[in-house]
Structure 1
Amino acid sequence: MPRLGFDRIIDVLRQRNYGLFTLGNSLSLIGTWMQRIASGWLAWTLTESATWVGAIAFADLFPCVLLGPFSGAAADRWNRLHVLKIGQILGLMQAVVLAALYQMDMLSIWPLFLITLFHGTVTGFLQPFRLAITSGLVTTQWLNTAIAINSVTFNLARFVGPAVAGVLIAIGGLGTTYMVNAVTFAIFALCLTQVTIHNQPKKRAGGSFMAETMVGVRHAVTTPGVNVLLLLTVVAGLMVRPVVELLPGWAAQIFNGSSGDFAALTSALGIGAVIGGLWLAGRGSARGLARIMLGSQAAMCLVLLAFSASWHVWMALPLAMLAGAAMVVGAISAQTLTQIIVAEDVRGRVLGIWGLSVRGSPALGALVMGAASDIWGMRPPLIAGVMVTLCVVAWFALRFDRLRHALEDTL
Structure 2
Amino acid sequence: MRALRLPRLSSLRAFDHPGYFAVWVGALVSTIGTWMETVSMGVYVTQETGRAEWTGGIVALAFLPSVVLSPLGGALADRFDRRAYVALGTVVQLLLAGVLTLLAFTHQLSVPAVALVTFLNGCAGTLTNPAFAAMLTELVPPRDLHSAMSLNSAQFNLGRLIGPALAAVVLGIGGPSWALLVNTLSFVAVLVALSRVRTPPRDTVKASTGLWKQIAHGFSVVRGDAEISLMLWSTLVVAVLVAPFIGLVPVFAIREFGQGAAATSLLVACQGAGAVTAALLVGTLVDALGQRRLLGYLALSIGAVSSLYWLSPTLPVAAVGIFVLGANYMMLMSGTHAYCQMRVPRELRARMSSLYSMVLAVGYASGVWGLGALSDRVSLRFVMISSSVLYLALVLTLRLLRPRSFDGAES
Query: What is the TM-score normalised by the length of structure 1?
Result: 0.90
SS in 2 for 1:192: helix
Q: Given the alignment of the two structures, is residue 360 of structure 1 paired with residue 362 of structure 2, yes or no? A: yes
In structure 2, the CA distance between the partners of 1:9 and 1:231, relative to structure 1 (3 Å rule), is closer
Go from structure 1 to structure 2 and tell me whether the alpha carbon gap of 1:136 and 1:326 turns closer, same or farther (over 3 Å shift): closer
Contact preservation (8 Å) 1:337, 1:407:
no
- State the distance in 2 between where 1:368 and 1:178 align: 28
Alignment counterpart, residue 344 of structure 2, candidates 342, 353, 373: 342
8 Å Cα contact 1:339-1:347 kept in structure 2: yes
- Note closer, same or farther for the CA distance 1:319–1:116 as it changes in structure 2 (3 Å cut): same
Mapped contact 1:224–1:406 kept (Cα < 8 A) = no
Give the direction of change, closer, same or farther, for the CA distance of 1:377–1:158 in structure 2 (3 Å limit): farther
Deviation at 1:382, TM superposition (A): 0.8
Alignment match, 2:247: 245
Structure 2: give runs of 5+ residues left out of the alignment: 1-5
The answer to which of 327-336 and 34-43 deviates more is 34-43
Q: Give, in angstroms, the shift of residue 12 of structure 1.
A: 4.1
SS in 2 for 1:117: helix
Aligned residue in 2 for 1:263: 265
User: Displacement of 1:266 after TM fit?
Assistant: 1.1
- Note closer, same or farther for the CA distance 1:390–1:221 as it changes in structure 2 (3 Å cut): farther
Structure 2 residue aligned with 1:24, among 5, 12, 26?
A: 26
Deviation at 1:23, TM superposition (A): 1.8
What is the letter of the counterpart of residue 268 of structure 1?
C
CA contact (8 A) 1:131 1:150 kept: no
Residues 9 and 377 from structure 1, CA distance in 2 versus in 1: closer, same or farther, beyond 3 angstroms?
closer
Distance 2:150 2:346 in 1: 20
Q: CA deviation at 1:399?
A: 5.5
Match of 2:162 in 1: 164
Would you say the 8 A contact 2:215–2:351 is kept in 1?
yes
User: Given the alignment, which residue of 149, 160, 180 partners 2:147?
Assistant: 149
Q: Is the 8 A contact 1:6 1:282 kept in 2?
A: no
SS at match of 2:377: helix
The size of the alignment, in residue pairs, is 402
Structure-1 separation of matches of 2:325 and 2:401 = 25
Percent of aligned pairs sharing the same letter: 22
Task: State the 1:206 CA deviation.
Answer: 5.6
- How far, CA to CA, are the matches of 1:200 and 1:51 in structure 2? 45
Structure 2 residue 314 is matched with structure 1 residue 319: no
Q: Which moved more, 1:42-51 or 1:306-315?
A: 306-315
Shift in Å, 1:219: 1.4
The equivalent residue for 2:3 is: none
Output the CA distance in 1 between the equivalents of 2:409 and 2:77.
24
Task: Tell me the CA shift for residue 60 of structure 1.
Answer: 1.0
Please give the root-mean-square deviation of Cα atoms over the aligned residues, in Å.
2.4
Distance in 2, matches of 1:135 and 1:336, equals: 10
Taking a change above 3 Å as real, the CA distance of residues 34 and 286 of structure 1, as seen in their structure-2 partners, is farther
Letter in 2 for 1:143: P
Partner of 1:225: 227
Deviations 1:141-183 (A, max 9, x none): x2331x2233223323453333333212321113343232223
**Match for 1:144: what amino acid?**
R
The 1:391/1:5 distance shift into structure 2, 3 A limit, reads: farther
Q: Determine if the alignment matches structure 1 residue 113 to structure 2 residue 115.
A: yes
C-alpha distance in structure 2 between counterparts of 1:343 and 1:36, whole Å: 35
2:392 and 2:336 map into 1 onto residues whose CA distance is 17
Larger mean CA deviation between 359-368 and 118-127 belongs to 359-368
**Unaligned 5+ runs, structure 1:** none
Instruction: Name the structure 1 match of 2:67.
Output: 65
Question: Following the alignment from structure 1 to structure 2, what is the Cα–Cα distance between the partners of residues 198 and 278?
Answer: 28
Alpha-carbon offset, residue 7 of structure 1: 5.7
Say which of 304, 310, 313 aligns to 2:312: 310
Name the SS for the 1:310 alignment partner.
coil
- Aligned mates of 1:98, 1:338 — CA distance in 2: 36
The equivalences for 1:91-240 within 5 A come to: 91-138=93-140, 142-145=141-144, 147-173=145-171, 174-204=176-206, 207-240=209-242
Q: CA deviation at 1:404?
A: 5.9
Q: Deviations over 1:70-120 (max 9, x none)?
A: 111112222111111111111111122222322332211011111111111
SS at match of 1:376: coil
In structure 2, C-alpha distance between the alignment counterparts of 1:185 and 1:8, rounded to whole Å = 30
Alpha-carbon spacing, 1:336–1:368, altered in 2? closer, same or farther (3 Å): same
> Shift of residue 388 of structure 1?
2.1
Deviations, residues 114-151 of structure 1 (Å, cap 9, x unaligned):
1111111101111110111134334xxx2331x22332
Letter in 1 for 2:384: L
Aligned mates of 1:407, 1:215 — CA distance in 2? 27
